[in-house]
Amino acid sequence: MLPVEEQLKVITSGTMQIVPLDELKKKLEKGTPLNIKLGVDPTSPDLHLGHAVPLRKMRQFQDLGHKVTLIIGNGTALIGDPSGRDSTRPPLTEEQVEANAKTYVEQAMKVLDPEKTTIVHNGDWIKPLNLGKMLGLMSKFNVARILEREDFHNRYTEGRSIALHEFIYPVLQAYDSVVIDADVEMGGNDQIFNLLAGRDLMRAEGMEPQVALTMPLLVGTDGTKKMSKSYKNYIGLTDAPADMFGKVMSIADEIVPMYYRLCSTCSLDEVDAIDRAFADGTADPYKLKRALGRNIVDLYHGAGEGEKAERAFDDLFKKHEIPEDIPQVSCDLTPNDDGQVYLARVLVEAGLAKSASEARRLIDGRGVKINGEAVAPKSYNVDPAMLAGATLQVGKRHFAKLA
């Protein structure tokens, strides 16, 4: 293993908080592989780059010789993590959790080293808990302490509801740490309370407490809000290469260095150099963004895919050519009484518009093209001959080819 100082350099890069740092140092000094914990709440099956941030940090731990325990929260899912929430989470069914967990693991393994990763389910030890044991765990925690949490505090002071069972979530998450004897628990910055709860409980159980390590929440492609599916500012790990590259190209300049640090496979030195270049104004954001796009696509789709995606991107957006792999759709092109086809309906069927009304508005706004030719406003009906095998386009980036 590398010297402790070297390891710490890698580990601290990009982290938000390490509580406490000197305990982490002591653990590293033992020279034995540490057990790094990440709890996964399988609420939504699609991972994005934001989810990958802690995963990347864990991969760095693995590369340094440590091992990772991934906990699938099929037990804690019965509650739903209240962290950062302003309302109670809807509970998930067992089947949803399993299905989500499966896709989660598939995607996570693109980042993690499977050799050094153990996967466990916390339902295995949470579901058998009896009331006595439960109460025992709960007695180690204090309501006032839990109410200090920002999310609960906000909900409480803003008069939003907090269901009683939500208080139990940190308790169970802490119990996970006891069961697997974690050395370090990773999480997003919104997880800090839950991670600290783990420390408290481990100490109460007479164990060496885990170190809490949080990563910043990744800012989404809009550059302001955190990356989240609901804000539609996310880059999905399973996004198609060209799409992924394009989304990277669309991020704001200011957040490029952060993306390099948190999402790329670039070395610490390279990332530091990019930081400096941005700081003194010598950076070329456009070039760096393209390189970042290639790096990220390579990471999730395999070496070489990044360059391919970049070429496809240039064809599409620099030369305004129609991309090669556009979805094929078969639509009902039966003409109506006057021998025309209602284009608005076709656009809906092709998935390019939500409703016929929207399609009509798009046509009126000159946003619809057939084979590259803009459709004139008000021409909602078109000659079927124009449509057979035609390429439909809405806006700059939505295409469909008619069968």
Partner RNA sequence: GGGGAUGUGGCACAGCGGCAACUGCGGCGGACUGUAAAUCCGCUCCUUCGGGUUCCUUGGUUCGAGUCCAAGCAUCCCCA
**Coil/strand/helix, residue 7:** helix
Does position 142 bind RNA by CB under 7 A? Answer: no
Binding mask 245-274 for RNA (x = CB under 7 A): xxx-xxxxx---------------------
Nearer Cβ to RNA (125/317): 317
Peptide bond into 20 cis (omega under 30): yes
Quick one: 33 or 285, whose CB is closer to RNA?
285
Instruction: Compare residues 271 and 348 and give the one whose CB is closer to RNA.
Output: 348
User: Given candidates 12, 336, 371, 379, which one binds RNA under the rule CB under 7 A?
Assistant: 336
Q: Minimum distance from CB of 244 to RNA (Å)?
A: 9
What are the DSSP calls for 55-115, one per residue? HHHHHHHHHTT-EEEEEE-TTGGGT---TT-SSPPPP--HHHHHHHHHHHHHHHTTTS-GG
Give first-to-last CA distance, the chain, whole Å. Answer: 58
286 sits near RNA (criterion: CB under 7 A): yes
Q: Among candidates 389, 275, 386, 401, which has minimal Cα distance to 349?
A: 401
Check residue 371 for interaction with RNA (CB under 7 A): no
> H-helix or E-strand containing 402?
strand 398-402
Of the candidates 109, 21, 96, 125, the residue with the CA atom closest to the CA atom of residue 70: 109
Q: Does 362 bind RNA (CB under 7 A)?
A: yes
Cβ 362 to RNA, closest distance in Å?
6
User: What is the nearest approach in angstroms of RNA to the Cβ of residue 233?
Assistant: 7
Stretch that binds RNA, among 49-57, 70-78, 131-139, 281-289 (CB under 7 A): 281-289
Angular region, 65: left φ>0, alpha ψ -120 to 50, beta rest: left
Instruction: With contacts defined by CB under 7 A, name the span among 9-17, 48-56, 211-219, 313-321 that binds RNA.
Output: 313-321
Token pair listed for 176: 């996970």
- Residue closer to RNA, measured from CB, 267 or 357: 357
Q: Is 151 in the site for RNA (CB under 7 A)?
A: no
Order of all β-strands in the sheet with 67-72 = 17-19, 211-215, 184-188, 35-40, 67-72, 117-121
Give the distance from CA 62 to its chain's centroid.
Answer: 20
Give the helix ranges, DSSP H, for 282-342: 285-301, 305-313
Least distance CB 248 / RNA (angstroms): 9
Residues 290, 395: Cα–Cα separation, whole Å:
23
Q: Is 147 in the site for RNA (CB under 7 A)?
A: no
Using CB under 7 A as the binding rule, whether residue 189 contacts RNA is answered as no
Cβ nearer to RNA, comparing 57 with 398: 398
Q: Closest distance between RNA and the C-beta of residue 312, in Å?
A: 9
Q: Which own/partner pairs from 349-354 qualify as long-range (CB within 8 Å, at least 24 positions apart)? A: 350/392, 350/400, 350/402, 351/327, 351/400, 352/392, 352/394, 352/398, 352/400, 353/394
User: Interface with RNA by CB under 7 A: which range of 141-149, 204-212, 267-275, 353-361?
Assistant: 353-361
Among 146, 291, 398, 399, binds RNA (CB under 7 A): 398
Binding of RNA at residue 395 (CB under 7 A)? yes
114 lies in the site for RNA, by CB under 7 A = no
282 part of the interface to RNA, by CB under 7 A: no
Q: Can you tell me the distance from the alpha carbon of 130 to that of 381, in angstroms, rounded to the nearest whole number?
A: 67
Give residues in contact with RNA (CB under 7 A): 156, 159-161, 222-223, 232-233, 242-243, 245-247, 249-253, 285-286, 289, 313, 316-318, 336, 340-342, 344-345, 348, 354-358, 360-362, 364-367, 380-381, 394-398
